[in-house]
Structure 1
């Protein structure tokens, strides 16, 4: 994933409400959202490395990962997509998982990881050094920098999620998908400087990235209630932002 906003323990029905976009090269093979046949995982699948960028399990746990934008980093180590699939396959709670992962976080390519279980949520990262941070109740955002770094598109998506919460919405996710489809770039004076050049910073500052070789591949909304029941909805896109289908999967915990 490259852009995420989520509300943790901030809604009367949903303990977790998450909206995010996955940006990737269109040539990288991936499978759409589905129930995996070889693991208790509901997710899309990276067919190149085998992991996933965002997924849930039938008990209502969730995991999502982003990369860290730094052109100077050699990008060495294990695939960060395994972080999500290993978390969902494993039996540890979020607290124990955070402790265990922090000890070996340096063995992965640069990552930001969010994990959620029935009681706890954690942010974990490995740049510039491994760290774990418990997530407090409220609305938070994450992109390709540190947790809650106020990049313009992260702030905008967080604000639109907060507006959805304030409106008392429960099951109409249309406004969240509209926010994820926003192609408006950030104002020039608000562009971050991550070492990739001004033109590319401008292009990547929109929530939805439209491109023939690289761009937004999927937009996803996850809603998990306080009993662990929930749904995940994925909208997929091809080169040039062309719509490629939608999948919704509901589950009942237990």
Structure 2
């Protein structure tokens, strides 16, 4: 999760009002960026970078994640329910799963069911060939050859990658060259904006769900690490 350091947020935990939900929380709008539930639901959102179409009065995109996690709709039905009103929001991509299937809604596009495989999603569309997306997919493929702690370490190594590609490889999204450079690495650092947290979610064939989160907040190490592990409950 990349965000301005002064935007208040809470680390991942089970929510008091919705104890089946495990997620961080944006304390400004009360939404979230990524979360799971005890029943195996999964949701994550990324912003779609398009400063030319930015709307200052748009509703919070994080609420799209929290409403799915706290609601009863399946992924496809939920995504289709927001399809007609997606234009009211600033650009976003939304990934939703239910422990069986994974769906994606791409900015102002269609609802798509994903086949098993390796995908990359940043602040454009699914598998847009930005340098960090392509590099991330390569590192993910290598990581998935590992197991246990080695797998976890490899995934966080991927998320901590600070490689900045040459200017000639940078996308042109309308934010200017300085910001294109700043935003081009998987782990972002600057005096005011950067990677606030990194999260790994693992769902095993035995239905065990593991969520590990590292919170940074722009401060030097040691970072705060939280670990959660539980068996998926039967869906009602």
Contact 2:208–2:231 under 8 Å retained in 1: yes
Residue 169 of structure 2, aligned match among 167, 183, 190: 190
Asked if the contact 1:95–1:120 (Cα under 8 Å) also holds between the matched residues in 2, the reply is no
Alignment correspondent of 1:218: 197
Q: 1:52 aligns with which of 10, 32, 49?
A: 32
Deviations 1:169-194 (A, max 9, x none): 24431011111111110122211111
Equivalent residue for 1:13?
none
Among candidates 53, 65, 84, match of residue 73 of structure 1: 53
Deviation at 1:207, TM superposition (A): 0.9
Give the drift of 1:116.
0.8
- Equivalent in 2, 27, 31 of residue 6 of structure 2: 27
Confirm or deny that 1:140 pairs with 2:119: yes
- Aligned counterpart in structure 1 of residue 92 of structure 2, from 106, 111, 116: 111
Equivalent pairs, count: 230
CA displacement 1:166-220 (0-9 Å, x = unmatched):
x242443101111111111012221111111112211211111111210110011
The TM-score, its normalising length taken from structure 1, stands at 0.86
Instruction: Give the drift of 1:238.
Output: 2.1
For residues 118 and 44 of structure 1, do their structure 2 counterparts lie closer, same or farther at Cα, with a shift above 3 Å needed? same
Give, in angstroms, the shift of residue 110 of structure 1: 1.6
Q: Which is bigger in relative contact order (C-alpha 8 A, separation at least 6)? A: 1
Task: Give the equivalent residue in structure 2 for 1:120.
Answer: 101
Q: CA deviation at 1:242?
A: 4.6
SS of 2:182 mapped into structure 1: helix
Task: Tell me, in whole angstroms, the C-alpha distance in 1 between the residues paired with 2:134 and 2:198.
Answer: 17
Q: How well do the aligned residues superpose, as a CA RMSD in angstroms?
A: 1.6
Unaligned runs of 5+ in 1: 1-21
TM-score, normalised by the number of residues in structure 2:
0.92
Q: Aligned residue for 1:61?
A: 41
Q: How far does residue 243 in structure 1 lie from its aligned partner after superposition?
A: 4.3
Q: What is residue 36 of structure 1 aligned with on the other side?
A: 15
**Gaps spanning 5+ residues in structure 2: where?**
none
SS in 1 for 2:189: coil
Contact 1:118 1:226 in 2 (8 A): no
Mapped pair 1:236 → 2:215: yes
Q: CA deviation at 1:130?
A: 4.1
